[in-house]
Structure 1
């Protein structure tokens, strides 16, 4: 049995409070732009047996992960737009674990893969157009009581996509599906 932390955080935990160069942000935006295709190529043709397999003991299934990513990234996109159009808006947190138990988390992942492909095209277009000054715009997260810059949010969502991609990829490796 693998270490549960290695299964939970296959690429390590995200480190908050960092600053990012324009080149790093450009790489993060590129990762966000390419993520949906990468995820679709990995799991887009899997059957129910694989999609309904948890990526770790007591973890979400691949199906739940894919729907969670769509939920999370929709929220991230809205937070980006709020930060660009308001002064340090307070965003609305949500209970991701509860969302993953709702009936739509049992649907075909193709629905969320289509959302992600279109959403990420729009999101990357907005993010790729931002100046260094705009990347310093902020929003306040009342759950963590922290104000985040858009540059940090971009880095976080690039990490978030890869984090969950690695959950699925490493499950596939362990089970001989890759």
Structure 2
């Protein structure tokens, strides 16, 4: 069996505390823009057997993973808008593990794929015209007791997109589904 760390972090862990150039942030926005299409292409036609397969031992199922990404990115979109309209707002953390246990995590993935497609369209519409100065706006995360710039947040969410895409893709490779 593959190393558990590699299964959990197929592209490695996100490295926080970095600064990003305007050009790097534009690449992160582009990654966020294409993610819903890529994810839908990969898992959109999978049946229940595949969707209810955990991507790693002790991990979420692909179904839970898709719903998690929708939950996470909805929060990220709201946090982005807060950072752009308030001075260092304190964001509301949430327990993603508990959210993944709620009844909506057992629904078809179709609603979450539609949410992601529409949400990312709106999110990118907010992000595309931002200046470098606006990308330096921050919010405060009370769990880590840190301020995060939007440029770092976008790097994190570009990573988050690829991180979870690779969970599903690597599972598909291991099971010869692709």
Return the TM-score normalized by structure 1.
0.99
Q: Give the structure-2-normalised TM-score.
A: 0.99
1:135: which partner in 2?
A: 135
Q: Secondary structure at the match of 1:101?
A: coil
Aligned mates of 1:3, 1:90 — CA distance in 2: 37
Distance 2:129 2:107 in 1: 34
| Superposed counterparts of 1:15-34, under 5 Å | 15-34=15-34
Within-5 A mapping of 1:76-95: 76-95=76-95
C-alpha separation in 2, matches of 1:137 and 1:48: 42
Q: Distance in 2 between matches of 1:128 and 1:143?
A: 29
Partners of 1:36 and 1:129 lie apart in 2 by: 21
Structure 1 consecutive aligned stretches of length 4 or more whose deviation exceeds 4 Å:
none
Q: How many residues align?
A: 178
Give how far 1:43 is off: 0.2
Q: Residue 133 of structure 1 aligns to a residue in which SS?
A: helix
In 2: Cα distance, 1:30 partner to 1:136 partner: 18
Does residue 112 (structure 1) correspond to residue 112 (structure 2)? The answer is: yes
Structure 2 residues without counterparts, runs of 5 or longer: none
Instruction: Indicate the RMSD between aligned Cα atoms, in angstroms.
Output: 0.4
Shift of 1:23: 1.0
